């Protein structure tokens, strides 16, 4: 089974990488760009066909390993 875990900074947390990308785009003439936030998309292949088990394992992995609970949030998408 394939899944995606999206790990994003919480809205109140500054994103210096996003700021640099935005300024670079503006400097290069992409003037309609107003805000940029950079997140991670982690694509995972799991050796199970049990969707419920996969979701439980991914929730734990995201909470304990993939995301920093102090500054980040995560969202899990299981593929069909």
Q: How far is the CB of 70 from a second copy (least distance, A)?
A: 19
Q: Cβ(76)–Cβ(43) under 8 Å?
A: no
Of 10, 13, 33, 63, which lies in the binding site for a second copy, with binding defined by CB under 8 A? 33
Query: Looking at 23, 24, 68, 71, which residue binds a second copy (CB under 8 A)?
Result: 24
Interacting positions 34-73 with a second copy (CB under 8 A): 34-48, 53-54, 57, 60-61, 64-66
- Work out which of 19, 21, 55, 72 binds a second copy, going by CB under 8 A: 21
CB neighbours of 40 closer than 8 A, spacing ≥ 6?
6, 7, 8
Please work out, in degrees rounded to the nearest 5, the angle formed at the alpha carbon of residue 40 by the alpha carbons of 51 and 6: 30
């Amino acid at each position: 089974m394939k899944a995606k875990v999206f790990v994003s900074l919480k809205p109140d947390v500054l994103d210096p990488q996003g700021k640099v990308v935005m300024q670079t785009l503006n400097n290069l003439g992409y003037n309609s760009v107003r805000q940029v936030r950079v997140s991670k998309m982690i694509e995972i292949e799991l050796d199970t066909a049990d969707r419920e088990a996969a979701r439980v394992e991914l929730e734990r992995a995201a909470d304990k390993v993939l995301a920093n609970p102090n500054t980040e949030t995560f969202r899990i998408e299981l593929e069909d």
